[in-house]
Amino acid sequence: MCWLTEKIRSFFQTKKTGQDKKEPTKVIRPVPSHIQEGIEFGYKYPPEIAELIGMEFHRGQDYLAPVGTPCFATKGSIVNVYDDVKYFGLYVVEKVVLENVILYCYFCHLKEALVKIGDQVESGQTIAYTGASGSATRLEGGNMVAHPHLHFEVRKNSRASSAAVDPLGYM
């Protein structure tokens, strides 16, 4: 049988058995279950606030966690990035390999990271503590004030910000 015939047969066999419709394995919640969800993924700001903070599209899921709340590895994985930058503040990126996708899970605005690049982590392992680093702020009484929380961002198959997807779709 020629290779093309075999490819075609394999394609239709996969369609027939539904193997192409596998859902990716889920990841666990990055903070304890009692922590309330805050701003969600997507367009959430009115134009006047978006202009003030320079952000119209929210690329992650916020969790309203007090400073020092443990952040958990979402899957057995490898720490891919550990950095401190203006917007995210101290952050860690967990590279998660699922059945048919690679997720880069960003834990941002941290007080402390317990891991470094290349560390192998287990699902549920405490890898950091929440904080208010970077631009972890909110509008209160017309002023921007410090706002402790975890910004949890998931990027699919790329570390580019344009690859951000709704984290709740993988939990």
Residue 2 is predicted with a pLDDT of 54
Identify the residue with better confidence: 25 or 97.
97
Residue 23 has pLDDT above 50, yes or no: no
Residue 6 is predicted with a pLDDT of 57
- Section 110-132 average pLDDT: 95
Residue 45 is predicted with a pLDDT of 65
Query: Could you state, in order of their start, the residue ranges of all structural domains in the chain?
Result: 21-170
Helices (H), the chain: 3-17, 47-53
Mean pLDDT, the chain, rounded, equals 81
d(CA 114, CA 90): 11
- Section 116-134 average pLDDT: 94
High-pLDDT (> 90) share of the chain, % = 47
Q: Quote the CATH superfamily of domain 21-170.
A: Glucose Permease (Domain IIA) (2.70.70.10)
Confidence of residue 20 (pLDDT cuts 50, 70, 90): very low
Cα–chain-centroid distance for residue 101?
14
Sign of the dihedral defined by the CA atoms of residues 128, 131, 133, 135, in that order: positive
d(CA 11, CA 161): 33
Residue 44 is predicted with a pLDDT of 66
CA distances from 50 to 21, 67, 122, 159, 163 (A): 38, 25, 37, 24, 21
In the chain the first and final C-alpha atoms are separated, in Å, by 43
d(CA 150, CA 142): 23
b/e for 105-135, b at 16 or more Cβ within 10 A? bbbbbbbebbbeeebebeeebebbbbbbbbb
Residue 46 is predicted with a pLDDT of 67
Residue 161 has pLDDT above 70, yes or no: yes
High-pLDDT (> 70) share of the chain, % = 77
d(CA 62, CA 108): 9
